[in-house]
A and B are shown apart, each in its own frame.
Chain A
Amino acid sequence: MPRSETRHYSEEELLMHLLQEETPEAGENIAGHVRECGECNAVLREYELVVARILRWGLCDLSAEVWDADRVRLLEQFRRDQSWLERRGVLRTLMRGFESTWSYALENPLPTLGYIVVAFAFASERTITFLKLDRVVPATSEVIEIIRQFF
């Protein structure tokens, strides 16, 4: 927006102009105004000097040895974290498998119950055979007889 000659730009606007942080249109207006207005021009020049002095603020840089030592330390930490993440990955896969099984069981309770009964029967039969428990555990017919007598 063009300004009258008596209205000056604010210091903030002038700084933004200096840093080229304004819109191109505003930039042209400010540049035009500054060419003619000594007061705004002086403020702009002063900010130019301030920015130049700010940019003189150097850095206490670290030596190559310090950087190398830090890199070694960091990569060691990275390696440690990676092996931990791998372990966590296995655990996460297991958990994901468990979660999907659980949601299937909730959605299909009857088939799940059937699977459990079959798996249990198979496992108990194998356990009894393997550990030769048939010598101590009563046979199914004996169990049925005991239950019948009880009732």
Chain B
Amino acid sequence: MTSPLSDEDLVEGTLGGDEDAFSQLYEKYRHPVYATAYRIIQSAEDARDATQEIFVKLYRSLRSWNPRKASFSTWTYRLASNHAIDCWRTRRRKHETLDSEDTGEKAEREYAFGDAIRSPYREIAGREQVEAVRRCVDLLPELQKKVFVLRYFQELKLDEIAEMENCSLGTVKTSLFRATHAVRRALRKARN
């Protein structure tokens, strides 16, 4: 039995134009990349598009990845979170201008897309609390949102995030604390 190829091997293969190597990278990282994008953008449809764009960006900028500076996964999450933040910003701007749009129509569109998606956790989770967390995260400043998603859902260590974001560990710690504190307040409010 052959052992699975390492990220370095897959990256090398992709750089050499090996489609199979790129396909394996996609298979390995599509889920965490989508999860990051989804939690930042908060729309399955937009997160799906963002995931595609992130992978295109990924293979186009593969040469800039330095294995001595960051692991491939950290580098990928950085790319994913930065792109997702850009998409979220665009989406927010669009929503601001389309605020008068009929919400019923919007819900219908989401529902139509929902046919193609399944949500195994939705039923289990306390709907209101999850909704409170989701709404609160949507309102967080960019850095807090990024740190929050990468720490809680991609389980990156805070020093890795600090290196990724080119900021001090203290800044990252404070960002995470403020984000968590905001969620705590939102959850209290939801409970009351």
Contacts and interface: CB of A to CB of B under 8 A. Distances in A.
A74 interface: yes
Contacts of B184: 46-47, 50
B180 A54 contact: yes
A51 B180 contact: yes
Contacts of A118: none
A57 interface: yes
Interface string B172-186: 011011001101100
Contacts of A54: 133, 152, 180, 183
A60 B38 contact: yes
A81 interface: yes
A56 B126 contact: yes
Contacts of A79: 19
A42 interface: no
Contacts of A71: 23, 26-27, 30
A16 B23 CA distance: 38
Contacts of B70: none
A88 to B, nearest CB: 12
B116 interface: yes
Interface residues of A, number: 36
Interface stretch (B3-11, B54-62, B72-80, B92-100): B54-62
Contacts of A11: 177, 181
Contacts of B183: 50, 53-54
Interface string A99-137: 000000000000000000000000000000000000000
15 contacts: A15-B176, A19-B158, A51-B152, A51-B180, A54-B152, A57-B153, A58-B121, A58-B124, A58-B125, A60-B44, A62-B48, A63-B117, A66-B48, A67-B30, A75-B22
Interface of B: 17, 19, 22-23, 26-27, 30, 34-35, 38-39, 44, 48, 51-52, 55-56, 59-60, 114, 116-122, 124-126, 129-130, 133-134, 151-153, 157-158, 173-174, 176-177, 180-181, 183-184, 187
